[in-house]
Amino acid sequence: MHYLSTRDARPRPERIGFEDALLRGLAPDGGLYVPEALPRFAPDFIRDLRGRSYAEIAVRVMAPFLGDAVAPAEIERIAADSYRGFDHAAVAPLRQLGPDLWLLELFHGPTLAFKDYALQFVARLFDAALARRGQRVTIVGATSGDTGSAAIEACRDSAACDIFMLYPEGRVSEVQRRQMTSVAAANAHAIAIDGSFDDCQDLVKAMFADAPFRAAHNLSAVNSINWARIVAQIVYYFTAAVALGAPDRPVSFAVPTGNFGNVYAAYVARLLGLPIADLVIATNRNDILARFFNDGSMALRPVEPSLSPSMDIQVSSNFERLLFDLLGRDGGALGRAMTGFRARGSLQIGTEELGAARRLFAAHVVSDEETLDEIARAWRGSGVLVDPHTAVALAAARAHMTTRRDAAAPMVALATAHPAKFPAAVEKATHVHPSLPPHLADLMMRPERTIRLPNDLKAVQDFVAAHASPRRGAAA
C-alpha cells in the first residue's frame, strides 16, 4: 500500500511506503498521510475473524496497511507483545447495558485510556523500523494528560527512542501525573512546564522549527496524526462488530471525539467493508464538529474546560483526512480550505459535500450536566461506573437511538477511559470512589521523578540535549 499527503497538489503526488509514513508522521507539506487506495474485505474474510483473539484479528486487519514494510511473522510478534500486558483476556471486551446497548471497554491497557491500544503497537513498530535502519529518535510531545502517560508507557525501555513529554504544571489530574512521573526508565522524561497546555505545545513546535536542533536529536512525534495510530485503532471496531454478528448484522458506534482520530478509524473500518449502520460523533461543550455536521460550517471558538478534558479541543487534526475525501481527494482544494480555515477561523463546505458528510456521520453535543446525569444513570441502571468521556458517548448513543437508521443494529458506545482516571466527576455523580485496577493499585505510593522547567525554549532544549542518547543515523 502506498500513502499520499492530503495537501499534495501535484498532478503526480509523491507516493511513499508505510515505514516512511510511520517515521515521518506529518508530511513535509504540512498534510497528513492517507492510503492511496483501500482494499475491501469480503464478508467471508470478516466472518472468519469470529472467535479469534484480539492479536490475531489485529494481524489480519492491519496486514494490508503495513504492506511489504513489515513481514507477517513480525506483525504477529509485535501484536502479541503489544496486547499481552492488558488486564482483560479479551483486550477490548464488550459489556451489555441494555437490550441493544453495549459498552466497548478500551481501558484495559497499562495507562487506562484507549490511547494504549494504538501507542503500545506503534512504539514497537518504531523500534523495529529504527533497528532495521540503525537509527535512534528523540520523541518530544505536549500532553494534557492521556497521551503523555500512554506514550511514555509505550516507549519505556525502548532501545531506539528517548521520550520527553511536556505537561502543564498543576493542570493534569494526580493519576495522570503519577502515571508519567513514576515510570522508572532512563529514556523517559515527563517535564512539568510552568505554563498552560498551549505553552507546552508552542515549545514543542519551536523545537521542531529549530532545524539544527531537530537534526541533531533526530526529533520525532507520536501524536494523533500518525497514520499508524489510525491503523491500530481500526482493529477494535472489527473485534466488537464481529462479536455482535458482523458481517451478517450491521452495528452502530457512538465515539467520544476530540482530535477525530478514533471516529475516523471507524470510518476507515466501514470503507474496508465492515457493516457500520450509524457512526455517532459525541462531543462535549466544545462542539465545533457537531456544528459542522449540523450546518456545514466549522467556526473556531475558544476552548472551554469541561468534565471530559481529553476532548477539550477546537481544531480536530484528523478531520483533515475526512475533508480530503469530501473534497474528492483533491490536494489543492484541501490545502486552500485549510489555509482559509487558519486565516479566517472558519470553514464552509457546499451543500453537496454537507449531504455526503451527514450520510456518513451523526453528531450529538453532551453538556457537563448531562454527563453527570449519564454517569449516575449507568450506575443506577446497570451498576457500571463510567468515566466522563464514556458518559458523553453513552448519552449521545441514547439520544441517537430514536432516530437511528437501522433498529436491528446494536449500538456500541466506546468507553475510552477507566473511571478511576477521572475520579472526581464519577464521585460527584454517584458518591462512589472508583478504585484503580490491581496493576495500578499502589500508584499513589510509587516514588515520583519530577522535573520542573520554566516556560522557556532554551531551558527545555538544554534539558533534552543533556538527557537524549547520542545520535545515530540520519533523520527520516
Site residues (CB under 6 A) for ligand PLP? 113, 115, 146, 224, 256-262, 310-311, 389, 416-417
Q: Minimum Å distance from CB 180 to ligand PLP? A: 14
Q: Minimum Å distance from CB 262 to ligand PLP? A: 4
Q: Minimum Å distance from CB 41 to ligand PLP? A: 23
Q: Minimum Å distance from CB 1 to ligand PLP? A: 22
Question: In the complex, which residue's CB is closest to ligand PLP?
Answer: 259
Nearer to ligand PLP by Cβ, of 19 and 146: the residue is 146
Nearer to ligand PLP by Cβ, of 82 and 318: the residue is 318
Helix (H, G, I), strand (E, B) or coil at 103: strand
Q: Kindly report the CA angle at 310 between 381 and 271, in degrees rounded to 5?
A: 85
Nearer to ligand PLP by Cβ, of 218 and 306: the residue is 306
Q: Minimum Å distance from CB 44 to ligand PLP? A: 31
Contacts of 168 (CB under 8 A, 6+ apart): 144, 192, 193, 195, 196, 197, 199, 200
CA–CA distance, 432 with 146 (Å, rounded to integer): 23
Please name which of 111, 106, 110 lies closest in space to residue 415, comparing C-alpha atoms.
106
Please name which of 290, 121, 142, 118 lies closest in space to residue 202, comparing C-alpha atoms.
142
CA–CA distance, 149 with 116 (Å, rounded to integer): 9
Nearer to ligand PLP by Cβ, of 35 and 309: the residue is 309
Active site residue 115: yes
Q: Minimum Å distance from CB 446 to ligand PLP? A: 22
Q: Minimum Å distance from CB 220 to ligand PLP? A: 20
10 Å CB burial of residue 407 (0-12, 13-18, 19+) is exposed
The alpha helices in 182-260, defined as continuous H runs, are 197-209, 211-217, 227-243
Going from the C-alpha of 156 to that of each of 134, 160, 405, the distances in angstroms are 19, 10, 45
Nearer to ligand PLP by Cβ, of 82 and 257: the residue is 257
10 Å CB burial of residue 238 (0-12, 13-18, 19+) is buried
Strand positions, DSSP E, 3-131: 3-5, 33-35, 94-98, 101-105
- 32 bridge partner residues: 26
Given the residues 115, 205, 421, 458, the one annotated as active site: 115
Going from the C-alpha of 422 to that of each of 7, 434, 435, 446, 450, the distances in angstroms are 38, 9, 11, 19, 21
Greatest Cα pair distance, the chain, in angstroms, is: 60
Nearer to ligand PLP by Cβ, of 187 and 286: the residue is 286
CA–CA distance, 16 with 1 (Å, rounded to integer): 9
Nearer to ligand PLP by Cβ, of 396 and 460: the residue is 396
Contacts of 369 (CB under 8 A, 6+ apart): none
10 Å CB burial of residue 475 (0-12, 13-18, 19+) is middle
Going from the C-alpha of 22 to that of each of 2, 65, 355, 387, 423, the distances in angstroms are 12, 11, 33, 31, 35
Q: Minimum Å distance from CB 416 to ligand PLP? A: 3
Nearer to ligand PLP by Cβ, of 117 and 379: the residue is 117
Among all residues, which ones are annotated catalytic?
A: 115
